A and B are shown apart, each in its own frame.
Chain A
């Protein structure tokens, strides 16, 4: 049984392909400006060399900040649940997770089955996240992969007053000009970020075992500081960055085994863009293919065709799916002017709109 998990993060996109109990492949790519393209590219790369195509993948779960924009996913699950699920693959004993991502930081408590018990996420401010470290690496002109080791070589960390991305940057530049060593600047910043993470962890509960996931977990300097602050030896898995995607893949495997099955009868047509979510959902479990929705739609977007089980079901025409928001005025607007519309005439209550 081939399943996949894809994690579209704010900075990096990760995919894991699994065959039953083994990881066949995993990749990490940069997240581009277009989530849909990024997801397709990441998945293609993950399948490269496996001899598999997307059609061979039975179930895909998407997670991460771009999770709603993965066209080939069967379901999306929040990254918080996925990290908890993913880490138990490596360490079932983990109870406290610090996920340090590109634009946010999360502290999660979970049980031995990877179920979330409590979690907290940083607020609007992205100071002290992956993006912040990238920026500092740029200012200091050190490759991102080396900043961890550089910080470990510090003899006297510089105390930073702020981890506001804007102010910390100017503070760092100031220190550079005064000839302070880059190692000490990095160690100081790590110290400030670790303190902030500790505060986040304190708001859930810090229990053994402790782990760090996300891209920053690969930064040795940061891990060392966190070990010191938290007072626990973090269990680090082989690649902490793919834990979210792995969790998603494990959820996909669960679904294929019929665990926590999602309501498969609901089919969603549409997309999200900058202006909102535009989805029409047809509950094929309810729809009996009566076709009353077909003539009443002012834009004629419905048709009746044989569904998966061979029974006639309403569906949105192929050509309408990519421009749904342009064709359909949305239920709220439509209902104001038209006596009869798809939702109202449906005797089975099988159609709904998100706008």
Chain B
């Protein structure tokens, strides 16, 4: 046993083979973001591109206006944020500072507009500074209530109407109900496809890893939805045709602050854990709920109801809705443990954490809480914790 190998590795991931050409295409989009071939092609044809900042911004309206919505995200790794820190005080989260720095450095200079929701201070201050310094031609911020009362619904509906009007004025067009219905269809299809992808992860040995899924999700914000749907269909076919099976030391769920870095998940999976589901605004919270058109509801009403009643962010009160859905996911995906990653100063998530920990504990699900910065891909300290957590979960299973 001893001496057979020169050094024991900390990581022995099963690397994905190039049996999924479509995944490679998604990777290409992510590698070139923000200036992806798809975005540039859209611009060349005279199309408008709008950046959005938060899952409470109704993307369908931008889509119905014939423009391309892309999600504004920060650097894909933990970076020195000199410019970000110069303009945003450091008690703003590193996500907002990372995005701002990319904006200040001209990486989003192709944007015709920026749309944000007043969901948390990080998003709000980022939007203010973007408005002031980066001077993208169109700016809009939606006030998003924190409650689910009738008054809150009425207020948010008004916000959605105003956003549509503002956009129509800026573009000199009228967005018709039919166009909105069509956009809803496209987006709902995308949500349904992502649900099918997630269904595969419920299997004992899922054909797709958490890191790969994050790569797909990242691409979903960065390219035209029609094309994304087509590719995702291809990917689902490829997954069906292949005989992929990922075994896991433990089935994990990632929860917490905004996170879209596949490398972070890969560093967990490299140690043998498999991320099978998550509660993140870049994934389940983004695609879980379709816009429901029923009865005599106008498409705009349907959109506004969906976005306010979406799988909630930790900012919404009461928190029970979010907790309930996390527990539901944990049950459906047979999760052994939960990894919470919270960006420093992301207070909404940090404040909910002890409550969530208790709820999970009551269900016998342990949680590993990590304090991270946006873009982290897993430092030595994090790796030690993840390894110990996996060892702990394994010991529990053996009971």
Contacts and interface: CB of A to CB of B under 8 A. Distances in A.
Interface of A: 36, 54-55, 57-60, 62, 65, 67-81, 104, 115-121, 123-124, 260, 264, 266-272, 277, 279, 281, 308, 321-322, 331-332, 335, 343-344, 352-354
B147 interface: no
A62 B18 contact: no
A344 B9 CA distance: 22
B11 interface: yes
A350 to B, nearest CB: 11
Contact of A272 (B5, B9, B388, B398): B9
Q: Which of A81, A264, A344 has the most CB of B within 10 A?
A: A81
Contacts of B11: 277, 279, 354
Given A115-B395, A281-B12, A270 B387 contact: no
B381 A121 contact: yes
B7 interface: yes
Nearest to B4: A267
17 contacts: A60-B2, A65-B384, A72-B2, A78-B384, A79-B388, A118-B366, A121-B384, A121-B385, A267-B4, A268-B9, A270-B6, A277-B9, A279-B7, A321-B6, A344-B17, A352-B12, A352-B13
A55 B2 contact: yes
A354 B9 contact: yes
A58 B6 CA distance: 16
Contact of A271 (B7, B12, B388): B7
A264 B5 CA distance: 12
Given A268-B5, A335-B18, A116 B371 contact: no
B380 interface: yes
A115 B398 CA distance: 11
Interface string B359-392: 0000000100101000000001100110110011
Nearest to A57: B2
Given A115-B395, A279-B7, 7 more contacts: A59-B2, A76-B8, A121-B385, A123-B381, A270-B7, A271-B7, A308-B4
Contacts of A36: 7
Contact of A268 (B12, B18, B392): B12
Contact of A115 (B2, B270, B396): B396
Contacts of B8: 62, 67-68, 70, 73-76, 268
A344 B10 CA distance: 24
A354 B7 contact: no
Contacts of A55: 2-3
Contact of B5 (A57, A260, A267): A267
A81 B10 CA distance: 15
Contacts of B395: 81, 115-116
A119 B388 contact: yes
A270 B369 CA distance: 32
A65 B380 contact: yes
A116 B392 CA distance: 5
A85 to B, nearest CB: 10
Contact of A116 (B5, B7, B391): B391
B76 to A, nearest CB: 15
B9 A78 contact: no
B378 to A, nearest CB: 12
A224 B116 CA distance: 54
B1 interface: yes
Contacts of A116: 388, 391-392, 395
B371 A59 contact: no
B14 interface: yes
Nearest to B371: A123
A76 B394 CA distance: 15
Nearest to A331: B15
Contacts of B15: 331-332, 343, 352-354
Contacts of A281: 9, 12
A343 B17 CA distance: 7
Contacts of B394: 260
A68 B11 CA distance: 9
Interface string B224-261: 00000000000000000000000000000000000000
Contacts of A322: 6
A264 B57 CA distance: 51
A123 to B, nearest CB: 5
B10 A272 contact: yes
A17 B4 CA distance: 20
Residue of B3, B4, B6, B398 with most chain A CB atoms under a 10 A cut-off: B6
Contacts of B380: 65
B7 A68 contact: yes
Which of B3, B11, B14, B394: most chain A Cβ within 10 A? Answer: B11
Contacts of B381: 104, 121, 123-124
B6 A271 contact: yes
Given A72-B2, A74-B8, A344 B392 contact: no
State the 9 A-B residue pairs at the shortest beta-carbon distance, nearest first: A80-B388, A279-B9, A78-B388, A68-B10, A78-B387, A115-B395, A116-B392, A81-B391, A268-B5
Contacts of A79: 384, 388
Contacts of A104: 381
Interface in B1-59: 1-15, 17-18
A65 B8 CA distance: 14
A59 B7 contact: no
B13 A260 contact: no
B398 A260 contact: yes
A70 B9 CA distance: 9
A77 B384 CA distance: 9
A251 to B, nearest CB: 10
B1 A71 contact: no
A22 B3 CA distance: 24
A114 to B, nearest CB: 9
Contacts of B369: 120
B391 A54 contact: no
Given A77-B391, A116-B388, A343-B17, A70 B2 contact: no
A62 B395 CA distance: 18
B26 to A, nearest CB: 15
Nearest to B391: A81
A174 to B, nearest CB: 27
A244 B109 CA distance: 53
Given A58-B1, A121-B381, A281-B12, A81 B388 contact: yes
Contacts of A335: 17-18
A74 B2 contact: yes
Nearest to B373: A124
Contact of B9 (A68, A117, A118): A68
Contacts of B366: 118
Nearest to A308: B4
Nearest to A344: B17
Nearest to A4: B2
